[in-house]
Structure 1
Amino acid sequence: MSPQESYTLEDDDGRIRPVLARAIFAVRPLLILVFVAATAFFAWQGSQLRPDASFEKMIPVYHPYIRNFLASREDLKGLGNAVRIIVETRRGDIFTAEFQELLKAITDEVFYVKGVDRAALQSLWTPNVRWQEVTEEGFVGGAVIPDDYDGSERVLEKLRENTLKSGQIGRLVANDFRSAIIVAPLVERDPETGKKLDFHAFASDLERLVRDKYQSGDIRIRITGFAKLVGDLIDGASLVGLFFLAAFAITAVMLLIYSRCAWLTLAALLCSTVAVVWQMGILGALGMGLDPYSMLVPFLVFAVGISHSVQIVNRFGNFIYHEVSRIDAARLTFVRLSKPGFIALLSDGVGFFTLRVIDIPVIQELAVVASTGIAVLILTHLVLLPLVLSYTGVTRRCVRYRADKDHSPFTHWALVARMTERGPAIAMLSLSAVMLAAGLWYGQKQEIGDLDPGAPELRPDSRYNRDNAFLTENYSTSTDVFVVMARTGSQQCGSYEFISAVDRFQAELEAVPGVQSALSLLDVSKLVIQGMNEGSPKWREISRNQYILNNSLSRAPSSLRNTDCSMAPVILFLDDHKAATLERVVAAVYEFRARYDTGAVTFELAAGNAGVEAATNIVIEEAQTKMLLWVYGVVILLCLLNFRSLRITVCIIVPLALTSVLGQALMAFLGIGVKVATLPVIALGVGIGVDYGIYIYSALQFYLRRGEPLKEAYFSALKSSGTAVAFTGLTLAVGVGTWMFSPIKFQADMGLMLTFMFFWNMLGALLVLPALSWLLAPRERRLAG
């Protein structure tokens, strides 16, 4: 028996855990039955879980921009959540009888898709798309599709003329006349049931009823829009099951190689899987669902479970090797690891829960999902796993393997233990300082928001991004729309003061780099006044005569003003939705308001997909620092409460901070912006990484209390916990690394970042922590080491 271990139920900090251990193990069969029954119940509840995503969950609903948008949603038809179906012909142009019949059929099909706002649907075949012109007899116009449409050459030529007069070239009709768009604004809730629109079901309906039904060798269907994006994300995220299986298999193989025991491997995998089942069941019982951003969290819970399982089975196997009975070994494992395990899991859970400070519902729900899973691990790993091990024990092969390890020189850990000596410690701390400085410097290049065109959540070659690129290349109006709401008094949107203010505003914003063009009530007024004056360009200007203004605005579509004429949207079409572009637009609006806002006319931000993105970027930028302060604040507080030492807390926290800084620098280097999908990774990496430091220092503290010098104490800690930490870090890094093959780019980015953070947190705990311990250790113990 090793002289370094004490195999009694007594505990260094008191008798609470030994008493609790005796109480738990006295009713082992009953507790096992309770866990089995609870697992069956939660498995049934989890089977009710469905993918859940909505437009409002993805946006900061309490931000002033979004409040303004939601307050005016009914007046901004088509400028919020809408999809665009592009129908492209590969033969000739759209002005053929065959294409128009197809376009009409698809328009009718989309009209009846559940979730479409039918009154706002736009297509060449809807009556709200009209043309007009000025003739000697005055203004004439009508629906773009002629009343006597019969598919003949004469009527098709008339359709071509009407389309040219409608102003829809570049909007509903491609610049090369080879495709046409159907714009389908969506309702957020089903008017019949009142339930939130199921975006996944809606996207599936579009695929089944439109793309699959009408696409052929001559016709290509392309679909863009937030709902379609979410549908594609859920389809891709559904592959998380494959990643889970891959990670499960990788973990099982590595656990078996590490432990050389099928029983230990089975127990660890079983309890981690039970934790995932409980988590999914609790979410089902709470009526929650999994959105694309939280679908991978159950795997994180499994990974954290494996992290703690390795520590527990490692300690249990060590006790068995020293000829302790299965029950006593399980009880001793509970006594020795329940405190550091509880503190580590509490740090994880509370750290994850701090994501609630970010005012975006999808991240707040992710915080609940993650912290719920961590809370479950406290029961399944600190209680259930020792109970299971008390029945399974270990195989003889495992005992022989541990005997071989115990008699081996542990050369690799002897080298690592030298980090507590003066020379290696100074070298490691110097290297860490250089890496910290480099990370802080390069991390300044990190940007907020999307850095790529299209939908950066998906890969550039995804079908959605190819469809979006086609739209951008063949149409004049961008899919990135930023809407500013110009407000005034009731029935005053036709006044000269209002129109002239919009004129100045629109002129300044069109000059901002990144703004392609602008559209508002102003453009209609100028066009009508020009038309009323024989089409002369010199009359394309607003008039001070109120009667002329009223007449010019009488022909404006309802989408360019609200019902009581107190608000008119100014629609800005942007080159892209990159963070720099949105910042320039927002800054220009604020600058204009500072100079020209008289109170009679106000310009409110913001609607449109780019406006929502701007609000989201602002919230994330403000929340990033706040989130980090909360995460580290909670972890620091729990470490102080556990170890009651500022020195120990510094030793645990500094390696985590170094990994966070390097992680941000890596994001800047790889061009990964801080956004809804990537912001939680920072908190997740810190929460999981703190486990390594807590377990290692708990073991180190145990041997220091026995009077061993720092170097010998750390060598003993490495033999008891270091191997488990190294194995955990490598296993988690490999398991999470499988995410990098996901078709969903943000999942691949999360996999890359978590792999990096798991690995570097492990290295920090093994190499930087002991160097800090040497630096901060009392002088006499440092000399003794």
Structure 2
Amino acid sequence: MKTSKSSRLEKFVEACIRHRIAVTVIFTLLTLVMGFFAARVEVKTVFDDLLPTSHDYIEVHKRFRQDFGGSNMVSIMVEVEQGDIFNIGALEKVKKLTNDLALVHGVNPFQILSLASSKLKDIKSSTDAIESSPVMFPDVPKTAQEMDALRNTVLKSPLIYGAYVSQDLKAALITVDFYENEVDYSKIFPQIMKLVDSAQGDGVRVRVVGEPILFGWVDFYVPETMQIFMMTLACLLALLFVTARTWRGTLLPLLAGATSAIWALGAARLIGYNLDPLVIVIAFLITARSISHSVQLVTRFGDELATGASTPRAAASSAMLQLFKPGMLGVVADAGCMVVVVLTPIPLMQKISLIGTIWVLTIGLCACVMTPVLLSWVKQPKGFAHPINIAPALERLLDLCIAVATSRRRYFVLAGTAVVLLGSGAYAFKLQVGDADAGSPILWRDSRYNQDAAAINKQFQGADRMYVVFEGKQPGAIKEPAVLNSMASMQRFMGAQPEIGGSLSLVDILPMVNQVLREGNPRYRDLGRSANENGELLYMWGPDAGDAARFMEPQQTSAPVTFFFKDHRGETIRTAIHRVKEFIAENPIEQGKYVLAGGLIGVTAAVNEVIFAGQIESIALALLVLVICCAVAYRSTRAGIFFMVPVVLSNTITFSVMAWQGIGMTLSTLPVAALGIGLGVDYAFYVVDAIREELHENDNLELAIAKALRTAGMGVLITSLTLTVSVVLWFSSSLRFQAEMGILMAIWLFVSSFSALFIVPSMVYVFKPEFVMSKRKKTVADCGAMPARRMVMAA
């Protein structure tokens, strides 16, 4: 019986079903429009998106990167299989690579360094002056005598031997940097790889590393990633078809997931955002949420038909009315947990946060509204689409859930939950911020990139760089002996860290010049004793502008101390930054100050510090959003505390696995972690709301839990099984990051479903929270008071 006191939710549901043709037509037209824009979304990595918008290290990096080196430096090693590098064939390859690199997109030609470049020079004395000439430019030695002379020159130069020619003389290094405002990984990667592959062979192996190469490999695997994505959806389709046994239970959830993706990607294109290849796994995670909400509605629709709904239209209306509140609560909670990532001052995080929030919010329309609207057209089913019936197995599992929650075993479940929560919470503190492995965590350890990185770091000082800049108070400050001695002391101090393979500064040049001026006497291999003497040594060195730019500014006010790192693990970087700050604090300089930090290590240090601060803030804010959502929805602050249990459990277990497997908290994993907070509670919303609805019919809590698990619990079980099995396909990805995120998603889904089916019902039975047990007057105005199926049938 209808009443004028119908709630706004009932009016909304009634309007959606009554005007279903108009709703569907408008939704379809808008989806086509958004699809037009979604098809034009660019999938690429933008370098500037990776840098924090405000950090002291980034400011230093941007000021000095053009001269002292950026964070996109590429290192190429030419290695011979037999003999040493001093043979015509190998050196011709070094020369060709050096010359051809100048043609690569965005390259800084003044930052190409190798034996074959004009930048590496030999300093000699003559009767008239100091001569500084390239060691091997413009031609490769042709005779044995010339080759021996080159070898001797390299062995006598500490700036070349060990830095650009390996100590065993079997490899030569080429380094190249780029103008960072012109960095385009999609162009740089294929051009450099073409050069590298053309130089392979004839007893020579060429290896290459650097951020443009790393993210180039990510772009290279985009087609494979999309293939895995489509295979996962196909697997999901098959599993849904097997479990649901109906076409509506198969196609409608996938339609909900597909349309929400179209709307989100279309919105991304409209606001000018690109899609980073590394966040495709987040796209699947959100799509899974859309599918999950739709499965709940399809399952409840079937229950309504089975329990006597007069028509499919009435069943759809009833299902929508019952599940709209928990469904939208889950959507709002997910969106709230995702939007807090926007506070992380890194453009990539902010883009992911905004797109992810929009994506999650589209679920409210694509799944919570359109699924029941489309279900209202479904004809009364007369059978099943196939004979395979796994329902008895699922029902037996649900019977186990009911038996555990309604017997004394519930205490063992809660005790075990407390133990696991405390244990995983303690172990989760071992989770590292930043990379946890020496190689790139994005690719597998045996990938070509990580093997090349290991080989280059073994032969040379290190492929990753950080520079600390001394800023003088006036021009010429770097000539002061106190300043140069301080730089030398810093190099010695930092050299004690095992992960630092070497260092470079002006201090390494001037003693060589002084020695040459003294007829090569090693007693004079030292700095000048006054600023004027050091100025004379700089004058005698006589570098051109390009050579000097690596070591000092033209006004001789600022100069870098560059450190070469064997890896960029989070712990390595934190140790280095701490030691640099310790040295600076204990060794103040009157003539100026040191500022941190440029190069890839400096940029990574800034990102790690931002993430470390943002990680705690994002998780805390996401939990606060969850508490507020629950408190508002259930009008009880205890509801927020209640639902935090499955959330905290799923996240501590996941973080423990990350710490155990060496998966660090990075730019790529932080948004997944934030979204995982919402993921850990969606299932619990459906089960708790079903228990509340059943309690409005009778006072038997045991019976209410049993019915809730057989209805909402069935949807949870179907969703978790299909999604957990489907993400196994991500394990085959050539990108280690995506495979590991597949593992994390499977863990999140399993723990969340286990919590909803075992832990949450047990908590309800033991603690009897007021927001679940409270009795209200059964009026139609109370959307939860009268079971929806009775209201619709009465209407």
User: TM (normalized to structure 1)?
Assistant: 0.92
1:572 is paired with a residue whose SS is: strand
Task: Give the corresponding residue for 2:739.
Answer: 748
Task: Give the corresponding residue for 1:396.
Answer: 382
CA distance in 1, matches of 2:473, 2:684: 62
Deviation for aligned residue 1:282: 1.8
Asked whether the equivalents of residues 75 and 175 of structure 2 are also in contact (C-alpha less than 8 Å), the reply is yes
Task: Give the corresponding residue for 2:327.
Answer: 341
Task: Give the corresponding residue for 1:480.
Answer: 464
Deviation for aligned residue 1:116: 0.9
Asked whether the equivalents of residues 78 and 204 of structure 2 are also in contact (C-alpha less than 8 Å), the reply is yes
CA distance in 2, matches of 1:403, 1:108: 67
1:119 is paired with a residue whose SS is: strand
Corresponding position: 1:176 with 2:173:
no
Among candidates 128, 142, 147, match of residue 151 of structure 1: 142
Deviation for aligned residue 1:40: 2.2
1:52 is paired with a residue whose SS is: coil
Asked whether the equivalents of residues 97 and 152 of structure 1 are also in contact (C-alpha less than 8 Å), the reply is no
**CA separation of 1:778 and 1:680: change in aligned 2, threshold 3 A:** closer
1:50 is paired with a residue whose SS is: coil
**CA separation of 1:667 and 1:638: change in aligned 2, threshold 3 A:** same
Residues 352-751 of structure 1: pairs in structure 2 closer than 5 A:
352-393=338-379, 395-398=381-384, 410-421=395-406, 423-475=408-460, 477-491=461-475, 492-554=477-539, 555=541, 557-598=548-589, 600-751=591-742
Corresponding position: 1:129 with 2:129:
no
**CA separation of 1:217 and 1:383: change in aligned 2, threshold 3 A:** farther
1:603 is paired with a residue whose SS is: strand
CA distance in 2, matches of 1:698, 1:781: 8
Corresponding position: 1:117 with 2:108:
yes
Deviation for aligned residue 1:419: 4.2
Task: Give the corresponding residue for 1:4.
Answer: none
**CA separation of 1:564 and 1:775: change in aligned 2, threshold 3 A:** farther
CA distance in 2, matches of 1:781, 1:273: 34
Task: Give the corresponding residue for 1:218.
Answer: 203
What is the CA deviation profile of residues 654-695 of structure 1, one whole-angstrom value per residue up to 9, with x for unaligned ones? 111112112222222222222222222321222122210111
Corresponding position: 1:40 with 2:32:
yes
Deviation for aligned residue 1:400: 12
In the alignment, residue 22 of structure 1 is paired with which amino acid?
A: E
**CA separation of 1:173 and 1:535: change in aligned 2, threshold 3 A:** same
Asked whether the equivalents of residues 44 and 275 of structure 2 are also in contact (C-alpha less than 8 Å), the reply is yes
Task: Give the corresponding residue for 1:194.
Answer: none
In the alignment, residue 716 of structure 1 is paired with which amino acid?
A: K
Among candidates 51, 56, 62, match of residue 64 of structure 1: 56
1:452 is paired with a residue whose SS is: coil
**CA separation of 1:293 and 1:512: change in aligned 2, threshold 3 A:** same
CA distance in 2, matches of 1:14, 1:564: 79
CA distance in 2, matches of 1:462, 1:754: 23
What is the CA deviation profile of residues 319-344 of structure 1, one whole-angstrom value per residue up to 9, with x for unaligned ones? 22324312222222222222211111
**CA separation of 1:458 and 1:160: change in aligned 2, threshold 3 A:** same
Deviation for aligned residue 1:119: 2.6
Asked whether the equivalents of residues 521 and 560 of structure 1 are also in contact (C-alpha less than 8 Å), the reply is yes
**CA separation of 1:409 and 1:373: change in aligned 2, threshold 3 A:** closer
Q: Which deviates more from structure 2 when the two are superposed, residues 627-636 or residues 120-129?
A: 120-129
What is the CA deviation profile of residues 569-592 of structure 1, one whole-angstrom value per residue up to 9, with x for unaligned ones? 111223432223222222222222
Task: Give the corresponding residue for 1:292.
Answer: 277
Deviation for aligned residue 1:59: 3.0
1:296 is paired with a residue whose SS is: helix
Among candidates 92, 96, 101, match of residue 101 of structure 1: 92
CA distance in 2, matches of 1:403, 1:701: 30
CA distance in 2, matches of 1:711, 1:673: 43
**CA separation of 1:400 and 1:444: change in aligned 2, threshold 3 A:** closer
In the alignment, residue 462 of structure 2 is paired with which amino acid?
A: S
CA distance in 2, matches of 1:86, 1:147: 20
CA distance in 2, matches of 1:9, 1:185: 74
Corresponding position: 1:199 with 2:185:
yes
1:591 is paired with a residue whose SS is: helix
Deviation for aligned residue 1:698: 1.0
Deviation for aligned residue 1:256: 1.5
Deviation for aligned residue 1:108: 2.5
Task: Give the corresponding residue for 1:324.
Answer: 310
C-alpha RMSD of matched pairs (Å): 2.9
Asked whether the equivalents of residues 123 and 181 of structure 1 are also in contact (C-alpha less than 8 Å), the reply is yes
Mark the runs of 5 or more structure 2 residues left unpaired by the alignment.
776-795
Task: Give the corresponding residue for 2:221.
Answer: 236
Asked whether the equivalents of residues 433 and 570 of structure 2 are also in contact (C-alpha less than 8 Å), the reply is yes
Asked whether the equivalents of residues 68 and 549 of structure 2 are also in contact (C-alpha less than 8 Å), the reply is no
Residues 86-97 of structure 1: pairs in structure 2 closer than 5 A:
86-90=77-81, 92-97=83-88
CA distance in 1, matches of 2:772, 2:215: 58
CA distance in 1, matches of 2:459, 2:584: 34
Mark the runs of 5 or more structure 1 residues left unpaired by the alignment.
1-7, 191-196
Asked whether the equivalents of residues 680 and 752 of structure 2 are also in contact (C-alpha less than 8 Å), the reply is yes
Identical-pair percentage: 26
CA distance in 2, matches of 1:429, 1:80: 50
Deviation for aligned residue 1:188: 2.0
In the alignment, residue 255 of structure 1 is paired with which amino acid?
A: L
CA distance in 1, matches of 2:51, 2:508: 31
Asked whether the equivalents of residues 460 and 466 of structure 1 are also in contact (C-alpha less than 8 Å), the reply is yes
**CA separation of 1:495 and 1:15: change in aligned 2, threshold 3 A:** same
Deviation for aligned residue 1:105: 2.5
Corresponding position: 1:272 with 2:257:
yes
